[in-house]
Amino acid sequence: MNNPLLENSELPQFSQIKPEHIEPAIEQLLGDAQSSVEQLLAEHDSYSWENLIAPLDEVEDRINKAWSPVSHMNSVVNNDLLRDAYNACLPKLSAYSTEMGQHKGLFKAYQAIAASDDYALLDTAQKKIIQNALRSFRLSGVDLDAEKKARYKEISLELSRLASKYEENLLDATNAWQKLIKKKSDLAGLPESALQQARQTAEQEGKKGWMLTLQFPSYIAVMTYADDRQLRADMYKAFSTRASELGSNSDWDNTEIMEQTIALRHEKAQLLGFNNYAELSLATKMADSTSEVTDFLEELAEKSLPQARKDLAELAEFVQQQYAVTNLHTWDAGYYSEKMRQHAYDLSQEEVKQYFPAPKVLQGLFNVVEKLYGLNISELDNIDAWHKDVRFFQIKDKAGELRGKFYIDLYARPHKRGGAWMDDCVGRKKTGDVIQIPVAYLTCNFTPPAGNDPALLSHDEVLTLFHEFGHGLQHMLTKVDYLGVSGINGVEWDAVELPSQFMENWCWERESLALISGHYKTGAALPEELFNKMLAAKNFQAGMIMVRQLEFSLFDFKMHQDYSPELGAKIYDKLNAIREQVSVMIPPDFNRFAHSFAHIFSGGYAAGYYSYKWAEVLSSDAYSLFEENGIFDQQTGENFLTHILETGGSSDAMELFVKFRGREPKIDALLRHSGIAA
């Protein structure tokens, strides 16, 4: 049979890809890759970039281009057959990756290239790829004895399986919960847009009434606006116990998966000579030591806690005075915070949303990056995609050169995993005179359009869109011609959030808001009065938000750093201890946050969630240069493009930051932007 995953098409043929294509394609590509490696090693007495690394790049690219659409579809149009095929390939990919990482002959060939006279003639990016590869060999256990190598391979296989199962349990538990509301009065407080969405969801299920789900737009609308305290409490409990022993189905309980994952990561780290997994994690990051990370987080906490305590005290006082409520629960915080925001700033999130229709925001985002970097973004029609809502665009630079393309999938739906992300569809590389144009996936979970109106985005959703597009720009605007360090490849993980968080700043400037906002019915500009209220409320509860992120970061890092095989992971003991240290509002005992903390159990952020705060220091400091020179200053934009976005992972992140900023980063701008005095 013709297999669309084996055809060398420019873009994935999503409509042609069937579950039965997946395993045969991956098996064939992995087999071909192994044969190619042996053949390349056997053909030459001495090795060079041209006769070994360049052809290996081609081999890896073929695998990536087949697996990328499969992995993506598993996240955005998940079904049982696709899931089975995806899971059948995970052990094969893991085994291949480990085998290549432990391949003595390949390791020695890379060492020989690094030691040869020709090495000095290679450019910076090529040298970085070789150094990264030598590090990866060591982190894959190439120096271990046969018994330890075999154990390393077993651990890698099992960790891959556990991560996938964790993600599936979370998706299934999220999709399974529904609550049909028969009387509209039971949803008092919910804005019309949320009611329309709930009615639309019920109709899609063939029901009459209003259907609530644990998809994030539905959940957050209830937690922010529903007057019915019991409804908020019920939904909070359902959401915060997903995929746990307290959830509705014990088949989806992630407890054992989490315990095994932490234990196996620790064992893997010790096999490689590290004391713990946190140390292993830092081997590929900017931070030099575990103490540097914990000191950084604890310093931020120390500076933020007074503000966080003040935020909570003000909320409690407001609730007591206005509503005579003295026992403030976690499921009340969002609801009363919104009431307090409206009271203090006369600012309603629903009013703000009227000015951010999704089509206007998207076009405005394109206008912002055009002004910053001279880019032109245009839509391409008749593209094969995985869902009818998906759109496809191309980016050209001011010289008219095609730089990248991207798919964008904005709205939440069943069988699509939650959250927002950018992922690599095709990476940039150069073969002869031909440049392979990078392609990105940009995925969000916004509230879909209801009726004839466009989707209206909250300002937080606008920030999310800008954030993911920042990742996309680093992937697509790269000028590095080698896959290993083009785009986001090879960028230290704690610097990878720099371009994304950096882009969020333009969502707060009058000059750029004029481009991305306009009333969805009249097109009227965002009123000055409303903008001033948004600005005044920008750092509303910033202290509480900061310590919540620090709670996640410290929990993740210390859980991996302090793990003891004798005592086990003690996940919630560790989380509770961190909460005692840095939190101001402690969740109820039944809260099972870690059971849905996909970033660290099934994403790439294990012992690395701190990267968000670390990179926020970089992004705030980088943006402060635009504040000094003008937010659309072309020279500053050009410098950011040249030193950060175009360079990929071809040099160390700190080196590139210093080239752009003229010095190492300082924490001051982050504290200032967050409204937290240093």
Q: Two tokens at 28?
A: 């064939």
Count structural domains, the chain.
Answer: 4
Q: What is the pLDDT of residue 523?
A: 97
Cβ contact 353:457 at 8 Å: yes
Q: Is residue 678 part of a domain?
A: no
- Looking only at the bridges linking them, the beta strands covering 210-213 and 402-411 are unpaired
Residues (pLDDT < 50) of the chain are 678
CA 168, 170, 174 angle in degrees (round to 5)? Answer: 120
Amino acid in the structure at residue 156: S
Indicate the helix (H) or strand (E) that contains 349: helix 349-353
Cβ contact 652:646 at 8 Å: no
**Domain boundary, last residue among 218, 252, 286:** 252
For residues 640 and 656, what is the distance between their CA atoms, to the nearest angstrom?
A: 10
DSSP 122: S
Share of the chain above pLDDT 70, in %: 100
Q: Is residue 162 part of a domain?
A: no
**Domain boundary, last residue among 576, 609, 642:** 609
Q: Two tokens at 650?
A: 């071809």
- Looking only at the bridges linking them, the beta strands covering 439-446 and 421-426 are antiparallel
Q: Two tokens at 8?
A: 């060398």
Check whether residue 381 and residue 430 sit in a common domain.
Answer: yes
For residues 171 and 66, what is the distance between their CA atoms, to the nearest angstrom?
A: 24
Q: Tell me, rounded to whole angstroms, the distance of Cα 164 from its chain centroid.
A: 16
- β partners of residue 442: 408, 422
Check whether residue 579 and residue 637 sit in a common domain.
Answer: no
Q: Two tokens at 255?
A: 């407890």
Indicate the helix (H) or strand (E) that contains 436: strand 434-436
Check whether residue 526 and residue 658 sit in a common domain.
Answer: yes
Helices (H), 102-228: 104-115, 124-139, 146-176, 192-204, 216-225
Helix (H, G, I), strand (E, B) or coil at 431: strand
Amino acid in the structure at residue 93: L
Cβ contact 79:417 at 8 Å: no
Q: Tell me, rounded to whole angstroms, the distance of Cα 604 from its chain centroid.
A: 9
**Domain boundary, last residue among 237, 252, 267:** 252
Q: Provide the terminal-to-terminal Cα distance of the chain, rounded to the nearest Å.
A: 64
Tokens 């970033």 locate to 599
Tokens 């929990």 locate to 555
* Residue 468 among the catalytic residues: yes
Q: Residue 97's domain is classified under what CATH number?
A: 1.20.1050.40
Q: Is residue 150 part of a domain?
A: no
Check whether residue 126 and residue 228 sit in a common domain.
Answer: no
Check whether residue 112 and residue 229 sit in a common domain.
Answer: no
- Looking only at the bridges linking them, the beta strands covering 434-436 and 376-379 are unpaired
For residues 97 and 104, what is the distance between their CA atoms, to the nearest angstrom?
A: 14
Q: What domain range is 320 assigned to?
A: 255-347+542-591+599-609
Check whether residue 326 and residue 437 sit in a common domain.
Answer: no
CA 314, 320, 323 angle in degrees (round to 5)? Answer: 120
Active-site residue among 468, 492, 497, 551? 468
Helix (H, G, I), strand (E, B) or coil at 641: helix
For residues 332 and 421, what is the distance between their CA atoms, to the nearest angstrom?
A: 29
Q: Residue 308's domain is classified under what CATH number?
A: 1.10.1370.10
Q: Is residue 149 part of a domain?
A: no
Cα–Cα nearest to 335, from 193, 458, 189, 198? 189
Check whether residue 386 and residue 420 sit in a common domain.
Answer: yes
Check whether residue 464 and residue 574 sit in a common domain.
Answer: no
Q: Is residue 172 part of a domain?
A: no
Check whether residue 272 and residue 133 sit in a common domain.
Answer: no
Q: Is residue 160 part of a domain?
A: no
Cα–Cα nearest to 334, from 216, 451, 205? 216
Check whether residue 505 and residue 469 sit in a common domain.
Answer: yes
Check whether residue 41 and residue 108 sit in a common domain.
Answer: yes
Q: What is the pLDDT of residue 677?
A: 65
Q: Residue 634's domain is classified under what CATH number?
A: 1.10.1370.40
Indicate the helix (H) or strand (E) that contains 536: helix 528-536
Q: Is residue 147 part of a domain?
A: no
Helices (H), 285-348: 290-323, 330-345
Q: Is residue 525 part of a domain?
A: yes
Check whether residue 412 and residue 523 sit in a common domain.
Answer: yes
